[in-house]
């Protein structure tokens, strides 16, 4: 005997907002995309978790400690879990939001490079 079951699944993705702006981002998303369901969750951030490696690198006669990724540290960050009723809405949301994410990453990278130059 074979049983079939239909399990309702809402496709989702996680979005990280800068510290202190997660509620504003959630409000913007729910206002712009009415079908989106936004939840605040705490998860391990595997991309931003870093720990100092104890191999000093010499740069301009200054010793500095290099930060390396460490997925075992267990540090948690706040994320927005955004779920949609269908895959079509998820793809439309990603198409709408990806240019802004790329722009923010470039701006963040430029500011971190600038601060690195200032500290050297």
User: What would the pLDDT profile of 49-70 be if each residue is shown by its tens digit?
Assistant: 444 433 334 334 334 444 455 5
Q: Is residue 11 within 8 Å of residue 83, measured between CB atoms? A: yes
Angle, CA of 49, 55 and 61, to the nearest 5°: 115
pLDDT value for 82:
94
111 phi/psi in degrees, rounded to 5: -70, -35
Give me 25's structure tokens.
């981002």
Q: Is the pTM of this model over 0.85?
A: no
Per residue in 77-92, pLDDT tens? 888 999 999 999 999 9
Confidence of residue 106 (pLDDT cuts 50, 70, 90): confident
pLDDT value for 8:
84
Contacts of 18 (CB under 8 A, 6+ apart): none
pLDDT value for 68:
53
DSSP string, 46-102: TTT-EEE-S--EEETTEEEPPEEE-TTS--EEEEEEEE-SSHHHHHHHHHHHHHHHH
């Amino acid at each position: 005997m074979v049983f079939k079951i239909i399990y309702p699944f809402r496709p989702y993705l996680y979005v990280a907002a800068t510290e202190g702006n997660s509620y504003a981002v959630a409000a913007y998303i729910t206002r712009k995309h009415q079908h989106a369901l936004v939840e605040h969750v705490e998860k391990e951030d595997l991309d931003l978790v870093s720990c100092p490696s104890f191999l000093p690198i010499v740069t301009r006669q200054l010793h500095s400690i290099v930060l390396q990724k460490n997925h075992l540290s267990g540090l948690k960050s706040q994320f927005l879990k955004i779920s949609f009723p269908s895959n079509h809405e998820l793809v439309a949301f990603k198409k709408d939001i990806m240019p802004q994410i790329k722009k923010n990453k470039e701006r963040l990278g430029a500011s971190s490079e600038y601060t690195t130059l200032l500290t050297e």
